Structure 1
Amino acid sequence: MTALSQYQRLEARGLWRENAEAQRREVVVSLGDATLILTDLSDRALAHWSLAAVERLNPGETPALYSPDGLEDEVLELPEDETEMVSAIERVRRAVESRRPHPGRLRFGMIGAIVVVVAALALFWLPGALSQHALSVVPRVKREAIGEALMARLQTVTGPVCADRDGRRALDALARRLPGVNGPPDLFVVRDGVRGAAHLPGGIVLLNRSVVEDTSDPDVVAGYVIAELLRARRSDPLGDVLRAAGPVATVRLLTTGALPEEALDNYARTVLTDPPVELPDEALITGFKDHRVRSSAYAYARDISGESTLTLIEADPYAEAPAEPVLSDANWLRLQAICER
């Protein structure tokens, strides 16, 4: 049991007290295979202690005091010079302790593992799960309200939206010509700040006035709208807002129906500063085909040389066949003048 073959029949002298009322007497202590044997000076056995039950009453102190049960009624004292016997007993005690079950240690280990799993879920799974749940329950009217709140913040940089009455009617006609998944988008032309075009929750698409004014072809404007509709389809705009806002803001939206002001301010800055997500040419070509719009006009507007947009030019679905006009000539002229008032 002890695995201490070098200590077999090790003996030492000590003082033994049989019980609390008994006088201490000198004994010879022998370390057996599984027991601690106490004999008198005449070699008569006085006690046998199981090594597995021996307990140290004063760890780290001298003289060393041991008991077979830890109750201090029966005590063995080993003097300071019996270091070899003390070392042997301590090794046996450590070996026995290492083999005993430790329910508390297991319990704490399980608790620790649970804490790690919960923390991992909170860090990696919970934000995505909250966001997905919010996207499934937030109604369209709330999405529109969030989009309008963001647009109000953007106008501190972009200036007020261009609102010429005739130009607005032409813009509404363009929206009806280019319906999205949930119907015509809400199109707005802004004076500055937006890089070409941007989209917001609730089907809102913002166009920089340069997109409208610096071209002679309404298919270019249509191209920017189509690209934003495709981006909104590939990544839910409200999901983009929630990912940027974080899980706390998402919980607030679910519980109160509103996002924190700070979250809206931060995302508004993102819209103005982050470049638009690049779209695969195949997706763009499909979008132009579905909306019956030429892709080559948009391609040349993005790169006048056509080098970086060659695929959009060569694969234009309406390069030869006449496409349905995006706007009438009259509405196109009205749209180009939308920011003049």
Structure 2
Amino acid sequence: MPAPVTALTEFQRLEAQGSWRETPESRLREVIVSVGAATLTMMDPKSDRPLSHWSLPAVTRINPGQLPAIYTPNGQAPDETVEIDDPLMIEGIERVQRAIAIHRAVPGRLRGVVTVLGAVAMLAALTFWLPDALIRHAARIAPPAQARTIGLAVLADLEHSAGAVCRRRSGQQVLDWIAPQLIGDQALVQVVPAPLNGARRLPGDLYVLGNDLLATTPGPEASAGHLIAARLAVEDKQATLDALRHAGLMNALRLMTLGTLSRDAMQGYGETLLSQSLPRPDLAALPPAFAERGLSTEPYARSIDPTGAAVLPLIEADPIRQGTTPARLLTDEQWLALQQICAG
């Protein structure tokens, strides 16, 4: 055991005479007491035969301050004892006892330090991990109606930067008719006056389209392509999660418990969205999605890059060029009504 050896480094071998009693009823017997690396040994002085071995960590002095010093291998039941009056031996044993006490205390302190560090680490984990975990949970369990509420709150804030949603009835009717065919039965498409360079997906299967696409393209194919791309670029749960991260932990908890958000939960988020690059899906996913709806990829590609250089793979993979029968999205009257959605 390292501690006793360290405590007795100046001694090659520490021995002294002592009086040993095997049981309370036994007579005292003269012995040689020897301190080893981990034991206190009582030996017969005539034959050097060991009579008893005690574990040093368990050795206890039962009469502190008195002579001769009396030791027992078990302080709780001192049946076996040895009496020693040699000062050097007593000092050696006492030094061993102090070394053992220190040896025991250090791991105890270490455990305390480890416990404190563990508590700090757990607190840090709760501080930095738990809030985001709760927000992710709120986004994951939000039903469609709650997600739509979040999306409408985002749209309301976005209107501060992009202008009020265009609400001409005839144009919105066209959007409400075509949206289920393009992007899903529950999809809602809204148009804002400001240019968005495409479409953005908001929580709750809500899509916002810039009027610039309607005003500058010869037909509805480009706008339809941007709506399909927006659907493929961002999952609805991801859009909800991004919005809730902006709203913060308290709003996420409020949503889970009350089903509502505070009035200013999405304040500033619309401007943040507009400052970010428009999410684009993997180009390889677009031709199959366009082909399913009978759409050409070229109008969409040309609306991104009129030269076609940056979107050449999309143009070359155009489903219509590959033989897909083109669908007619809107009549001329419907397209005209959609183009005028922001006209008062």
TM over 0.5: yes
Structure 2 residues not aligned, in runs of 5+: 15-33, 41-54, 68-89
Displacement of 1:91: 7.7
Which residue number in structure 1 is paired with residue 158 of structure 2? 154
- Residue from 156, 162, 177 that aligns with 1:173: 177
Counterpart code for 2:171: G
- Residue from 156, 162, 168 that aligns with 1:164: 168
Residues 162 and 339 of structure 1 are in contact (CA less than 8 Å); yes or no, is this contact kept in structure 2? yes
Counterpart code for 1:167: G
Q: 2:207 aligns to what SS in structure 1?
A: strand
The question of 1:336 aligning with 2:343 is answered: no
Q: 1:6 aligns to what SS in structure 2?
A: coil
Residues 249 and 260 of structure 1 are in contact (CA less than 8 Å); yes or no, is this contact kept in structure 2? yes
1:184-223 equivalences in 2 (<5 Å): 184-192=186-194, 194-223=196-225
1:286-297 equivalences in 2 (<5 Å): 286-297=288-299
In the alignment, the residues of structure 1 paired with residue 307 and residue 293 of structure 2 have an alpha-carbon distance, to the nearest angstrom, of: 25
Residues 230 and 281 of structure 2 are in contact (CA less than 8 Å); yes or no, is this contact kept in structure 1? no
The question of 1:271 aligning with 2:273 is answered: yes
CA gap of 1:184–1:178, structure 2 versus 1, over 3 A, is farther
CA gap of 1:270–1:90, structure 2 versus 1, over 3 A, is farther
In the alignment, the residues of structure 1 paired with residue 276 and residue 337 of structure 2 have an alpha-carbon distance, to the nearest angstrom, of: 31
Counterpart code for 2:317: A
**Structural RMSD (CA):** 4.1
Counterpart code for 1:251: L
Which residue number in structure 1 is paired with residue 314 of structure 2? 312
Counterpart code for 2:121: V
**Which stretch has the larger CA shift, 312-321 or 113-122?**
113-122
- Residue from 124, 132, 151 that aligns with 1:127: 132
Displacement of 1:332: 0.9
TM-score, normalised relative to structure 1: 0.70
Which residue number in structure 2 is paired with residue 137 of structure 1? 141
Which residue number in structure 2 is paired with residue 256 of structure 1? 258
CA gap of 1:324–1:195, structure 2 versus 1, over 3 A, is closer
CA gap of 1:200–1:7, structure 2 versus 1, over 3 A, is same
CA gap of 1:52–1:220, structure 2 versus 1, over 3 A, is closer
Q: 2:194 aligns to what SS in structure 1?
A: coil
Displacement of 1:190: 0.6
CA gap of 1:51–1:132, structure 2 versus 1, over 3 A, is closer
In the alignment, the residues of structure 2 paired with residue 285 and residue 188 of structure 1 have an alpha-carbon distance, to the nearest angstrom, of: 25
- 1:35-79 per-position Cα deviation (integer Å, ceiling 9, x unaligned): 8xxxxxxxxxxxxxx986999xxxxxxxxxxxx67x97659xxxx
CA gap of 1:171–1:99, structure 2 versus 1, over 3 A, is closer
Residues 214 and 339 of structure 2 are in contact (CA less than 8 Å); yes or no, is this contact kept in structure 1? yes
Residues 221 and 295 of structure 2 are in contact (CA less than 8 Å); yes or no, is this contact kept in structure 1? yes
Displacement of 1:338: 1.6
Percent identity between the two aligned chains: 30
Counterpart code for 1:280: D
Residues 52 and 93 of structure 1 are in contact (CA less than 8 Å); yes or no, is this contact kept in structure 2? no
Displacement of 1:301: 1.0
Displacement of 1:127: 2.3
CA gap of 1:9–1:332, structure 2 versus 1, over 3 A, is closer
